[in-house]
Amino acid sequence: MDILAIHNPPETIAAGTTAVRDAAVNASERLRRGDFAAMRAQDLELMFALYDREFFGGWLGERARQETGQDVRFAVSGRMTRAGGKMSHRWRRGPDGRKQYWYEIAISSRLLATSFGEGARPVKVCGLLCPDAMAALQRLMEHEIVHLAEFLAWGESRCGGRRFKVIAARVFGHTDTKHELISPRERAAVEHRVAVGQWVSFGFRGRALTGRINRIHRRATVLVEDARGPRYTDGRRYRKYYVPVHELQPASAKG
């Protein structure tokens, strides 16, 4: 298949992506409910198959199977908070000692689950405004599909490269390669009005502790001044606590 020969007009892209959305929502209870935290690899597998049929006539899956002897695999990541998706060409040694390759597409369920809902700012993925998490999931999947298509056709893929941008624009109408999904850090900052560097208090084994937020990931890392803790670069001693963000209360600086 000549990937660079594809020039989908906007109506074709709109019709194709709507068909994928309708079929995916129809077939998956989780996607229908919009429960992206519960998304499973089989939801991604289904969506990929729909895209492959709709936009590539089944070439992606077929070519991947020819090359590796394996179907493309899928993974849902609850931990990816920076990348929205990831396409990788992976391998492991088989029982005969030979390398066995496969392609894998992973999507962050976490970013999809935290980026939408009441009060959330507008989110663009691949340059396109996403009204809901399903739209964002589709744009992420399309981006990873372009990586896979490039890999299958040329043996390498970089979204910073010109060829990638040309294909993403012609096949899916993407105008950018980045996403603006809302990280847990941003979400926490908005929802709970807490941010790195801020003083917070929280309950720990029946005591109320006060400290400063050092980092926000799945939980916030809060440094509480404690003579028994290790010395930090500011010369003071702290103990580190990992606290779920919703348990933090803004506090004033401790004197």
Do 59 and 150 form a contact (C-beta atoms < 8 A)?
A: no
Q: Which stretch binds Zn ion (CB under 5 A): 44-52, 156-164, 219-227, 247-255?
A: 156-164
Minimum CB distance to Zn ion, residue 175 (Å): 14
Minimum CB distance to Zn ion, residue 39 (Å): 20
CB-nearer residue toward Zn ion: 110 or 192: 110
Positions in 183-202 near Zn ion (CB under 5 A): none
- Nearest residue (beta carbon) to Zn ion: 159
CB-nearer residue toward Zn ion: 64 or 159: 159
How many residues interact with Zn ion (rule CB under 5 A)? 1
**CB-count exposure of residue 74 (10 Å: 0-12, 13-18, 19+):** buried
CB-nearer residue toward Zn ion: 165 or 237: 165
Q: C-alpha distances in angstroms, 151 versus 90, 104, 236, 250?
A: 12, 12, 51, 48
CB-nearer residue toward Zn ion: 159 or 248: 159
CA gap 35, 87 in Å, rounded: 23
**Coil, strand or helix: which one is 197?**
coil
CA gap 146, 159 in Å, rounded: 9
Minimum CB distance to Zn ion, residue 73 (Å): 18
126 binds Zn ion (CB under 5 A): no
Q: Which stretch binds Zn ion (CB under 5 A): 14-22, 68-76, 154-162, 166-174?
A: 154-162
Minimum CB distance to Zn ion, residue 144 (Å): 7
CB-nearer residue toward Zn ion: 80 or 251: 80
Q: Which stretch binds Zn ion (CB under 5 A): 10-18, 110-118, 157-165, 241-249?
A: 157-165
Q: Which stretch binds Zn ion (CB under 5 A): 4-12, 19-27, 68-76, 153-161?
A: 153-161
Q: Which of 49, 134, 137, 159 binds Zn ion (CB under 5 A)?
A: 159
Minimum CB distance to Zn ion, residue 147 (Å): 6
Minimum CB distance to Zn ion, residue 140 (Å): 10
Minimum CB distance to Zn ion, residue 143 (Å): 6
Judged by the rule CB under 5 A, the positions of this chain that interact with Zn ion are: 159
